Structure 1
Amino acid sequence: MKRIALFCSAGMSTSLLVTKMKKAAKAKGIEVSIDAFPEAAMEKELDEVDVVLIGPQIKYLLNKLKKLCDEKGVPIAVINTMDYGMMDGDKVLEQALKIME
């Protein structure tokens, strides 16, 4: 099973998005594990993760977080601001799946 990890400042705002992404995955018959964490926990949460998405509010940390992800061979991207703002679980799930290809 593929594992998607979302990170934001405290892991709170991405939690709602995770719920919507899980609903979208279930509707499409995709088996995937999706979790949200605060960015401060990234280093210890990267094991067994297939892709990392970060909230747009912490995109200023992308270079720092990319180094952590590169060390583990995990791709990382910033969630599209519009999709994040609209809490569009379907589009964010598609973004994650595309990155994992």
Structure 2
Amino acid sequence: MRILVVCGAGASSTFVAQRVRHAAHDIGLMHYTAFAGTELSLPIDLDAADVVLVGPHLAHALTRIEHDAAHRGTTVVLLPSDIFSDLDGSRTLQLVRDAVGDSGGIAPTASSDRPT
């Protein structure tokens, strides 16, 4: 599962991506990876993502991001405004798992099941 965290400049998304990656690995979800991107890099970064987590300050761009992601079969989640208080990444990880229907079983390490 490739998780792209998008913010305006890349700083806050870097922290969220790192936290969600650690949270996933801490519970054995080694096939979950997370990386940071910016609103400007999104058109390129979307090709490498299964899920896009959109920073709350980019809510104004959500419709456009969802439109661009839909063409790639990528799930989009708008992060809540208090997401930066999730210091261990567990709540953010749960948002991802809920969005993709991962109810708890550890999936195989295949890179993606989404259409290309």
TM-score (norm 2): 0.79
Counterpart Cα distance in 2 of 1:87 and 1:10 = 20
Partner letter of residue 54 of structure 2?
Answer: I
- After superposition, give the CA deviation of every residue in 1:44-84 in whole Å (9 maximum; x if it has no partner): 111141111100011110011111001111111111222x1
- After superposition, give the CA deviation of every residue in 1:16-64 in whole Å (9 maximum; x if it has no partner): 1112112211211112110010111111111141111100011110011
In the other structure, the counterpart of 2:74 is 74
> Where in structure 1 do 4 or more consecutive aligned residues deviate above 3 Å?
none
Partner letter of residue 41 of structure 2?
Answer: A
Counterpart Cα distance in 1 of 2:99 and 2:44 = 21
Please tell me whether Structure 1 or Structure 2 has the larger radius of gyration of its CA atoms.
Answer: 2
1:25 aligns with 2:24: yes
Counterpart Cα distance in 2 of 1:43 and 1:96 = 20
Q: Helix, strand or coil for the counterpart of 2:94? A: helix
In the other structure, the counterpart of 1:34 is 34
Q: Helix, strand or coil for the counterpart of 1:30? A: coil
Runs of 5+ consecutive residues of structure 1 not aligned to the other structure: none
- Contact 1:50–1:100 (CA under 8 A) maintained in structure 2: no
How many residues align? The count is: 99
Counterpart Cα distance in 2 of 1:73 and 1:87 = 27
Going by fraction, where is helix more abundant, 1 or 2? 1
Q: Map residues 51-90 of structure 1 onto 2, 5 A cutoff.
A: 51-82=51-82, 84-88=83-87, 89-90=89-90
In the other structure, the counterpart of 2:14 is 15
Q: Map residues 39-50 of structure 1 onto 2, 5 A cutoff.
A: 39-50=39-50
TM-score (norm 1): 0.90
